[in-house]
Every structure is written in C-alpha cells, then in structure tokens.
Structure 1
Amino acid sequence: MPFPSLPSPLARALTERNYAEPTPVQQAVLDAAPDRDLLVSAQTGSGKTVAFGLAIAGTLLGPEEALPPPAAPLALVIAPTRELALQVQRELTWLYAQTGARVVPCVGGMDPRREARALEGGVHIVVGTPGRLRDHMERGRLVTEGLRAVVLDEADEMLDMGFREDLEFILAATPEDRRTLLFSATLPKAIVALAESYQRDALRLAVAGETRGHADIVYRAVRVMPREIEHAVVNVLRYVDAPVAIVFCNTRDGVRHLQASLTERGFSAVALSGELGQGERNAALQALRDGRARVCVATDVAARGIDLPGLDLVIHADLPHDAEVMQHRSGRTGRAGRKGTSVVLVPPARRRRAEQMFAIAKVSPDWSGPPNADEIRTLDRERMMSDPLLAEPETEEEREWERDWAEALMERFPPERLAAAFARLYRSRIPVPEEVSDPAYETSRRPDSRSGVPVGAPRVGEDEPAAWFRLNLGRRDRAEPRRLLPMLTRRGQIGRGDIGAIRIFDNETTFEVRASAAEDFAAAFARRGSADVRVERMQGDGPAPAKAKSPRAQRHRREASKSSRGG
C-alpha cells in the first residue's frame, strides 16, 4: 500500500485510484506533525487538494475508521471560485467515501435554499466560496462551533479578488483550537500576515519541486502583428491540433469577440467569463469534457480551478499581466504526465514586456513567427493520410457493404476523381488557415543576472518614455524602495523592469512606470489590495520633482530671501 501511515479507508481509496506514490506536496504534509497548522506554498496541479485532504484526516477521524453521524461540520474548505470549490468537493468525496463522509458544496451561483437544507441535514465537510459561506453563517445556517480544521485553498487568489474581509469574518467565527491549513501558490507579505493573525505556530512548507506540475510544458513565444492576433490564434490551433485547447483573453469583451470569431471560422468553441450564469458555465465545461467542443476561450478568473482532460494547448491571445499569471494560465496543461504547450502571442510593442516576464518566470521560450498557411496545409495532408477512415481495419459487415459502394464508385469515376473528392471532403471538415506575417523583430535571450531583465531592455525614463505616479506613502510611513518595489509590482501586476526612478518624500512617494504599462498598472492597482493605499497618475511625463526640502529649510530660505531684499 503506497500510503501506509494513513487511516486505512483513505489508503484504500488512493489505491483504487491508482496512486502509486505521493506527490512532493502530499509527502510534505504527511511528514509534518499531525496537529500542526500549515502554511504551504504549492502550485496548481501539484496534488494539493488530496494533500490537504490527507493532512486533516487524522484530525477528523482520530483512531476511528469512520466518521460519526453527520451533524455540524467538522471541516471547512474555502476556495476562491465556484469551479475550484466544486472540484475540491468532488476530490474529497472520493477520498473520504469509505469513511461515510458527507461533503457539501456552498458556492455562489447555486440555489442557497438547497444548500441550507443540506446543512440542516448534517454534514462532515463543507467546501465553499467566501461570500456564500459568510452569507450562510450570517443567516445561522452554517454552524462553525464544532470545526476541527479550516483549509484556505489558493489564498493568494482570494486576497487578490478582494475576499480579505470575508475570510477574516469566517476565521474569527471558528474555534480557537481549530487547525488552520493555508495553501497558496505564492507567499507574499499579505498571506504571511494573514497566517500570523489566524494560525498558531504554523509550519511553513516551501515544497521542493513544487513546480513539478509545470515540468512538462513547452513554452513558445510567437511574434505577431497586432492586427493579426486573431489569425495567429486560428493558425496555432490548426497547427497544434490539440484535443482540447484553452485561449486566454484579458477581458470579457475579448472573450466574447474571439469565441464568436472562432465559431464563425468553423471551430467548436465555448466561452468562460464572469458574465455567464452558472448553468451556462457548466454547459460549456461539459461540452469540453464530452468532446462536443475543443476550444475554450476564457478570462483568468473564469478558468481558475477548471481541470479538463486532454488539455494539451494553452494560448495567451493577450499578454499576461505578469509572470505569475502566465504560469497559472499555463498550468492548466502539462498535467498527470502529459506533455503540454503554452503559446504566448507577442506583438512588437509588447516584446520588452514579454522578455521581462519570461526572465522573471525563468522560462526560455522558443521564439518564432506564427505558423503560416502552407505549413498547416502540409500537416493537413499528413494527417489525412493517417485518418482512421484509412488506417483502421473494417469489420466483416462493413467490408461487405463498403465493397459494393466502392465498386460502384470505381465503375463510374476514375481513381484520381475519387481521391480528389475524398481530399475535398476532408478539407471541408477543418477550418481554413489564415494568411499571416512575421514581424521578425530581434529578441534578447540573455537575462541580466542581477535583475532578471533581459540585457538591452530600454531603461525606464531614459531609453523609453515613462509616466509618473504619486503614492500616498512616504518616509513617515517608513516607506523605502526595498519595501515599495515588491508592493508596486505585485499589486500593479507589472514587472520590476517596468518601474523606473523612485523618489520618497515625507508624506508621499513619486515613481516612474514604463509608459506602455502605465494604463494597465493604474487599473490593476485600483482593483487590488487595500483602498487606503492609493496611487494617482501625475500630469505630464516630465522629470520627477526636485528633492523636497523640509519645512524648516524652506522657512530659512524665505527669511534669507527677505533679508537680502531688505539689505
């Protein structure tokens, strides 16, 4: 048995699912003391759902092999999105099936009355999204006094999505002696602060090999002309010909437009974005799972937590905001030992930004132009030759009636005519490739060893225009560059190379942002983090203000000026 230290019901469930050995994150939590709080850094796709399911098993079961009759919940799992919460619920259901566990989801977009009835009927584990869980708690439907364990899954995403207040409300209402397990892809200061407030003597696990889920992903950077991005998406889809592909856009409008464009060209494409109702989202995912659709066009938030079998291709139609977003997107593929491809489309104006992003992510992509129509037609010809219609042997029944049809066709038409008709029929089933061009700009491959920014990248404010911003923190707030820079890049979703000069004054800080990234920076900063920390764009793109003088120095200068005029 590959997990001998586990309660036997869970060990049997894992064996039935052909778990030969634990993943690194699963082994790490199993090696930890069974009663410790955990702060775990783990990437999407690393097996973390099963990991925290194993971690809380001893806390819930104790020496028993079965859970007590369902009543008030014993464990609470909080996830950022409906899709991820429902996926976690499915995983925990099979993992705890032999313990008699009742695992209930509580997520936005579902019928709250049905959830209320399920909670009233007794449960063991509740999995939900922050807003819906808080609503059930405020209405007295979700009782938290008996909780033995609370798990926060993808905590960094929940904070980025503005759920801090809901999380603090939920955690404050749970017993002080509960176990708290916090899982996050990254561990920024906000996550560490949350852990310090609500965990007790937490063991911090930075899992060695935590990027294992991304080890089988090949990254490709494709040069594109801005007006040909849709055409490039078409040609990449046709060239790779993956069973299932996902195409990421940065906005809902972008998703809507690209999905319609792909459908018009003959692709079986569905959309996932925040404006869709839960029924529409479920229908889109089911179409992908059962093969009725092969392409999903999605925003980052809408695709969070979805797991699609056969997903071999990720296309970034819009450049990701930063390296972390790129890796989260790409992590949808390359799972369970399968190979995956992540293609980033890079227009000339975004080249430097893309190079910085790859350097920060420590990714060395293969650069090329988009696949052209001739290359795709050559591949189509090879694929036609290996089509199952030609390669698979037919049954005796099929052979008998097909022979009659074949003989009738051969009597009336010459072989060349029949072959041409077959080729024409084959080509009618596939979208036509687009004519595209290659901008053929030069790229820098060698990153600067200190900054991670490619050598030759333009310096903000010197070689490339910059926009000046004002931040409402200064020396009196203990502001200093080494603390401000990580905050600005994470909250503004830009790279370090996009920040230029930083000037810190008593009550404020002014700083440069690469002009091409300024608009995205301002929008991202306004959406994320505390509303008490604000930035505003300064008028003009000129040099920074001169170094501010203290009030005392300014007074002395005014007095000296008066004296000189009086003399």
Structure 2
Amino acid sequence: MTIEECVTFEQLGLSASILDALKKKGFEKPSPIQAQVIPILLAGEKDVLGQAQTGTGKTAAFGLPLIERLKENCPHVQALVLTPTRELAVQVANEIASFCGTKRLETVPVYGGQSITDQLRRLRKGVDIVVGTPGRIIDHIRRGSLKLGQVEYLVLDEADEMLNMGFLEDVEQIINATNKDRSTLLFSATMPPELARIANRYMRDTIRVSVKKEQLTTSLTEQIYYELLQKDRFEALCRIIDIDPAFYGMVFCKTKLDVDAVVSRLLEKNYSAEGLHGDISQANREKILMRFKRKRVKILVATDVAARGIDVNDLTHVLNYSLPQSPESYVHRIGRTGRAGKKGTAITFVLPSESYKVTQLQRVTKTKIQKSVLPNVAELIKVKTARLHTDLMAIVESEQKKGFLETAKGLLENNDPEKLVASLLEYSFKDHLDPSAYREIQEIRSNRRSNERSNDRSSDRRSGDRRPRRDGQEGRPRRSRNASGGSASNAGNGGNGRLFVARGKQDEITPGKLIAMIKKKARIDESKIGGIEIYDKFSFVNVPREMAESIITAFRPHGRGRRSIIELAK
C-alpha cells in the first residue's frame, strides 16, 4: 500500500470548514493526485506540473488549496482557471464552489455561448476565482472587464486539450496578461513538446507530480466492434437500437455535420434523438441535457468536445459512430457506461482501413474488444414482432374506447379475422415487419479487405478531418460528409454545382436543417448533398451539377420579381 493510499483529508492540513464540505459531498479519502498536490500547494508558492488522466480528481487537487489560501473580501481577482471547453468550465466552477464551506469566495464561470451581459454584471460585483475558456477570457481582457494584474494563481486544466483545440496563442496571451509573480499550476494527461515548452518558459521552481495510470476501463462495460463500410453505418446504428428496446445511450461522431445529419435521419425514422455540438447555444444545450437525463430523449448524438462534462450514470450503450482520434478519447467515451454497478455496452464502428487501430486500443486499455456480427433482418423482425405482440396484449387487457370497439365490429362483420388483422399490421407496421424495407449491410470479407482499405483511405482524405474551434466549437469543414459517411465529392458523376443559400446561423440554420429543407422541397436524396458551409447570414452547399437547376426552381417563389433563396454561387 502506497503513502497516498494511507493518507486522509484530515492529515493533509485542510480546515474544518472544508473537511465538513468534503464529508457532505461523500469524499472519504484523497485520490493519489490530491494526496500529492494538496500538501505542496498548502506549503508555499511553488509551481506544480501535474500529469494525470481525466477523472483522477484534479479539480479538488488544485481547488481545495486555492480555497484555503485565498482571502475573503478581496477587491481583485485572485485566481484564474483556464479550461478547454465551456462544459468543463461550468463543471470546475461548480465543484470549487461546493468545496468552499463557510468561506465566502465568489467563483464565476465565463465562456462563449452564455450572455456576456450577465458575465459583465457578475465581474463588476467582484469575483475571487474566474473559471473560463480562452476565447471568452481574452474577450473580457480586451473589454477591460477582467483585470489579471494581481492574480495570485493561474491554473491550466487539461492543458493538452487546449493545445489540441488550437488555443496555444490564446493561452500564451492570457499568461502574459497575468501577474508575473503568480503561482502556475498546469495539469495535463499528456506532455506534448509544445506544452513542455510552455512549462519551461512560464513556470519556475516547478515540482512535477505524476500519477500512475489505473485500469482505464471497467469490467462492467462489454466492448465490441463491427467492421463495416462507411455507407452502412447508419443502417447498422438503427439495427443496434432496434434489437434492444431498453437502448439509452450516446452516439459519438467526429464532426458537427455528422451529428446534425445522423440526428436528422434518426428523427425521420421516429427515433427519440437529439444532438450536441459546438454550434448549439448554451441555453439549448442545457435543455437538451435535461431531456436526456430525464430519459425523455433516448439517444444523444454528440462530438467529443460537446460531450465533455456530461455526467449520466445509467447509460446502456455508448456507440462510436466514428473512431475517436486517440485511445484517451476512446476511454473517455466508453467510460460513460458501465457505471454505478450497472452493466453497459461500448460499440465501435470500424472501417476496413481502420482495423489495425483496434489492436492499438486493446493495447492501451489492456482489455479485449471483441469483434461481433450485426443482427440480421430475420432477428430484427423476430424481436419487433415479439415486442408488438406484448404491446398489443397490453392494449387488449386495458379498457377499450367504445369508438374503436364499434369500428372493430363493423370491420369483422364482412371480413375474415385473420386477413383483417394481417391487413392492419401491414397498414401500420409494414416498414418494421417487411424484410424488403431493410437495406442490406455488406459483409466484410478478408479477401476484399485490401481493396476496401485503399478505397476508405482515399475517402478519409477527401472527407477531411476538422480541428475544433475556440470554446469547443468545431471548425468549418474543408469538405463535408453526408450522414452515411460518404464524401461530398462523390455526389453525382457529372461534377458538383455550388449553391448559395440566403439563410444562415441568424436564421437558426444547421447542416441537418439545411439538408432536410432541400430534401423536402426539391425531393432529392440527402446523400447527394454535401460541402455545407454555414455563415451568419448565408450558406453554401454542393449538389450534383445536373440537379442544381431543379433545386433552384423548387425554391423559386410564385410571383413576379421575387427571387429564390437558393441561387448558383458566383
């Protein structure tokens, strides 16, 4: 047993007020990172570089000593905590506030997507600890509403994520705006060269603390993967949802365009689904999360960035619609199921060209990820038929409304009962019980793998990988994908036509809404729509050149002199 495992919060030198707050929150003993960092920060003004994975208790490791050392009724900001996303900013601010006990310290989160007027009002009233995202912090610095000249503590939380998201220049700008005599605390799961350079340049008398990685995944989470083609991913997702009537889970996509497109197609098929990505406003995000946590929504489709800070204990499934960028991201994703003693399933869709990555994930997580076979159509229909039988018997045993009984008697008078029931089933459930209504999913055979690997590599290059934008918003696509994963450059054989759409973010247009609008009005297959770029007042979209004129005509309003909202881009 290590020293860290033996120590208690009382032995760390924390005040009675904080110990009481920890007890109320159910904290029993410090985690390894807390046991190492808290005494260092309580003892003096040393800088700390802590290397530990997410979920090890870093917030309490720096938050508890901050509360102990900061003064009440101070006229200036005493501590600044930088986080990569607004979700983490809210989470960290709430956590620090919950540790304060009877000590009166004001903690405020500031981030993009929230009313800046409210933030300005709270900052004017006086704040001790500011927790924020780089973009919004810089905004306040420029406005003069946040002065960091007397900051005593600067915390860079999940610093590697901030660098991955392109915040390097922002972070350095913020560091240079702070008090030069501050203490700097940097926490990161990894230590890339750029981060090491920042640490060497801006930190002094640094004490390095690292925590040995514990088991990354839980034995309660079954991990499986399906090897399939991009075009079959959506059909595979539907089969997985349909085969388990208790499905309650998160679906992870690489880009916000994928999120919108997948949600749009799920809603078309009457699944209970909503999406989260960086373009969703904070107010809408909170409403979506509330509906999901209350199980009014059963499927939440999200990007990695947008999903940070989401805490739901009873998910049955986590599904990787796209492979994550790193093993750490994989662990963060699947860690959302198999919690609180409940079993969960983590499913990953793997393209033939990505099969080697499964071995990498198994090596990092030290667990077996089992290859599996998707439910076939016969199995799906069998499950749906059994579910239909159960539901109908429940209705039969309940009170029948008089109007339905009279209609039923009328129908039975001159019709064969079996044929009548069969007709009603066909009328109401044809798409569910008819095998021809299901798309075939191509089986991946080993003797085709080399060709598919080559094709998928070129498709991956065409579709492009986009880096997130500041404050957790994903950037504009170089070239977009449709919901089934195909590249926009494949839309049609006669080349693409670029269309201008006189609607944008100010009109609450999203990629999913734009696809649905064009599909409904012009009656074209959504797989033909791609290359979407959305700006404040207008958007652009690619379609096959031969379809462009018919789409423009479909949107042309009746009446002389009125222009279509869609035109050929100039």
Q: Once superposed, what is the RMSD of the aligned Cα atoms?
A: 4.2
Q: Which moved more, 1:308-317 or 1:238-247?
A: 238-247
Contact 1:44 1:213 in 2 (8 A): no
In the alignment, does 2:56 pair up with 1:41? no
Once the two structures are TM-superposed, the CA of residue 148 in structure 1 deviates from its matched residue by 2.2
Q: Which runs of 5+ in 2 are unaligned?
A: 1-6, 410-416, 471-570
The Cα offsets for residues 487-526 of structure 1, whole Å up to 9 and x where unpaired, read as xxxxxxxxxxxxxxxxxxxxxxxxxxx9559728985699
* Residue 20 of structure 2: aligned partner: 12
Unaligned 5+ runs, structure 1: 61-66, 391-401, 444-456, 459-463, 467-513, 529-567
Q: CA deviation at 1:212?
A: 4.9
Cα 1:78–1:111 shift into 2, 3 Å: same
Go from structure 1 to structure 2 and tell me whether the alpha carbon gap of 1:230 and 1:521 turns closer, same or farther (over 3 Å shift): closer
Describe the SS at the equivalent of 2:275: strand
In the TM superposition, what is the alpha-carbon distance from 1:195 to its structure 2 partner? 1.4
1:227-249 C-alpha deviation (Å, 9 max, x unpaired): 32112112223445566411111
**% same residue:** 35
- CA-to-partner distance for each residue in 1:291-322, whole Å, 9 max, x for gaps? 22121111222223332342342211122234
Aligned partners of 2:326, 2:130: CA distance in 1, in Å? 33
Determine the C-alpha separation between the residues in 2 that align with 1:322 and 1:28: 28
Match of 1:519?
Answer: 461
TM-score if structure 2 supplies the norm length? 0.66
Change (3 A) 1:146 1:340: farther
Shift of residue 31, structure 1, vs aligned partner: 5.1
Contact persistence 1:248–1:298 (CA under 8 A): yes
Q: Secondary structure of the equivalent of 2:102?
A: helix
* Residue in structure 2 matching 1:29, options 37, 59, 69: 37
Distance 1:98 1:209, change over 3 A: farther
Distance 1:215 1:173 in 2: 46
Conservation of the 8 A alpha-carbon contact between 1:46 and 1:213 = no
Shift of 1:28: 3.2
Change (3 A) 1:231 1:128: same
TM-aligned CA deviation for residue 168 of structure 1: 1.0
CA contact (8 A) 1:40 1:205 kept: yes
Indicate if the aligned counterparts of 1:24 and 1:209 stay in contact, CA closer than 8 A.
Answer: no
Among residues 72, 78, 95, which one is paired with 1:91 in the alignment?
Answer: 95
Are the equivalent residues in 2 in contact too, given 1:265–1:431 (CA < 8 A)?
no
Given that 2:38 and 2:62 are in contact with CA atoms closer than 8 Å, whether structure 1 keeps it comes out as no
CA 1:372–1:166 in 2, change beyond 3 Å: closer, same or farther? same
Q: Distance between the aligned counterparts of 1:242 and 1:24, measured in 2?
A: 37
Question: Contact 1:226/1:347 (CA < 8 Å) preserved in 2?
Answer: yes
AA in 1 matched with 2:209? L
Name the CA distance, whole Å, in 2 between partners of 1:153 and 1:222. 35
Corresponding residue for 1:100? 104
Q: 1:188 to 1:18 in 2, by over 3 A?
A: same
1:385-422 per-residue CA deviation (whole Å, 9 max, x = no partner) reads 999x99xxxxxxxxxxx99889xx99x99xx99xx99x
Find the counterpart in structure 2 of residue 136 from structure 1.
Answer: 140
Does 9-18 or 339-348 show the bigger shift? 339-348
Q: Could you tell me which amino acid in structure 2 is paired with residue 259 of structure 1? A: V
Answering whether residue 298 of structure 2 is matched by residue 294 of structure 1, we say yes
Residue of structure 2 aligned with 1:3, choices 3, 6, 9: 9
* Equivalent AA in structure 2 for residue 167 of structure 1: V
User: Equivalent residue of 1:117, what SS?
Assistant: helix
Q: Structure 1: how far apart are the matches of 2:167 and 2:92?
A: 19
Cα deviations by residue, 1:269-308 (Å, 9 ceiling, x for unpaired): 1111223223222222222122221211112222233323
Q: Is the 8 A contact 1:288 1:294 kept in 2?
A: yes
Deviation at 1:106, TM superposition (A): 0.9
Larger mean Cα displacement after TM superposition, 22-31 or 260-269: 22-31
Cα distance in 2 for partners of 1:292, 1:381 equals: 24
CA distance in 2, matches of 1:435, 1:286: 34
What amino acid maps onto 2:121 in structure 1? Answer: R
